[in-house]
Structure 1
Amino acid sequence: MLARLAAKRLHEIRHVFRQSPQVSRSLSTALNYHIDSPDNNPDLPWEFSDANKSKVKEIMSHYPSNYKQSAVIPLLDLAQQQHGGWLPVSAMNAVAKVIEVAPIRVFEVATFYSMFNRTKVGKYHLLVCGTTPCMIRGSREIESALLKHLGVKRNEVTKDGLFSVGEMECMGCCVNAPMITVADYSNGSEGYTYNYYEDVTPERVVEIVELLRRGEKLPPGTQNPKRTKCGPEGGNTTLLSEPKPPLCRDLDAC
């Protein structure tokens, strides 16, 4: 009884979405799952570009012929780069054909990892670290500054298609919190970059956006001019010399 009611309700929802592509796009973006739409459905043709077909062969060469499915993540990443930063269902189906598995096996991976976007993103996809160290250091204010400056909500794309803002958990450089990453899809898979910008402030992330808008590239890493990489401001004050080896251990014998 409940299964029939759920199936009926799902059919009604899909019918509404198909009647209104705009509703379909907005809701699929907000909920981050696949609903057939004019620009994302299994009937749309999709294949790797000629340049990327050689990359597919190179990726597949790293895996034994009976373990082709192990290449699913690098192939999905390549497909996402080629498709402007997101994965339509037809691209996932193309990956399934390459590694010779049922499409659901590829969908399982693409829906599990947050690195794969299943709705459109901007040419510059900005991700704000939301884990505790960055939150304590002001990541919420950084996200608010980005959203206000760009005039969008989280996971929305600006009208010019250049920018989108999302959240990501732990980027692995807590000592330089807070931080953001910029996934650059502006030149497809050939010019794709994924850079971290650390020690950012609300003012600095706005400056980064405007630099990207002008097509300028800035060095990744810490944005605090008083720091070198993850070192303290002003330089080290301790551990200035090589540590002495323990008396009971022959280091040369190791």
Structure 2
Amino acid sequence: MLTATEKQEIDHEISLVPYKKASVIEALKIVQQHRGWVSDESVEAIADYLEISPAEVDSVATFYNLIFRRPVGRHVILLCDSISCYVMGYRALHKALEEKLHIRMGETSTDERFTLLPNVCLGCCDHAPALMIDKDLYSDVEPAMLDDILNKYA
């Protein structure tokens, strides 16, 4: 079930587009903002509310890499693995993150503080390697910088 607040926010998005189903991505973002991720039950609730099939909602949810279909940590680290980042130090950064967080790519730390995910491109190839934590972008990142960066999210 969608909460009254979620419905109100989705209704606002519906009012901005010509068809209800055109607001599916915004509905997914709203649910994720309130719940942290989008469960199968949430997909079904959104589908019911927008009068479309759960498969249509799920196809949108799985297409966008910033819609999380399983629980994530309080902070999501997106590590850019584009060719520019790869050439400029991705491997060392990837290894350092996994060692510091005691997790592998796609996992969440035991304290549920961080989830580490790959990202195809963060759009700063001229300042590679890069990573993003929540909405904060870090470029020209070196493994030695990770303690200072991660401590901001204590």
* TM-score over 0.5 (shorter chain): yes
Question: Which of 110, 116, 135 is matched with 1:165 structurally?
Answer: 116
Give the C-alpha shift of residue 210 in structure 1. Answer: 1.6
The structure with the greater share of residues assigned to helix is 2
Amino acid aligned to 1:75: A
| Aligned ranges 1:103-252 → 2 under 5 Å | 103-183=54-134, 194-213=135-154
Gaps of 5+ in 1: 1-45, 184-193, 214-254
Question: Which of 2, 5, 8 is matched with 1:54 structurally?
Answer: 8
Question: Which of 69, 89, 100 is matched with 2:40 structurally?
Answer: 89
| Aligned-residue RMSD, C-alpha | 1.4
Tell me the distance in 1 between the aligned counterparts of 2:94 and 2:35. Answer: 26
Question: Which of 15, 20, 31 is matched with 1:79 structurally?
Answer: 31
Relative to the length of structure 2, the TM-score reads 0.92
Give the C-alpha shift of residue 49 in structure 1. Answer: 5.2
Tell me the distance in 2 between the aligned counterparts of 1:137 and 1:210. Answer: 24
Give the C-alpha shift of residue 57 in structure 1. Answer: 2.0
Q: 1:100 to 1:162 in 2, by over 3 A?
A: same
Give the C-alpha shift of residue 72 in structure 1. Answer: 0.8
- Aligned partners of 1:145 and 1:206 also within 8 Å: no
- Percent of aligned pairs with the same amino acid: 31
Give the C-alpha shift of residue 121 in structure 1. Answer: 1.0
Tell me the distance in 2 between the aligned counterparts of 1:49 and 1:207. Answer: 40
Give the C-alpha shift of residue 113 in structure 1. Answer: 2.1
Tell me the distance in 2 between the aligned counterparts of 1:205 and 1:166. Answer: 16
Gaps of 5+ in 2: none
Q: Does 1:70 align with 2:11?
A: no
Query: Relative contact order, CA 8 A, sep 6+: which one is greater?
Result: 2
SS in 1 for 2:152: helix
Question: Which of structure 1's runs of 4+ aligned residues deviate more than 4 A?
Answer: none
- Aligned partners of 2:108 and 2:114 also within 8 Å: yes
After superposition, the C-alpha distances for 1:50-69 in whole angstroms (9 at most, x for unaligned) are 2x3332122111112xx211
Number of residues paired by the alignment? 154
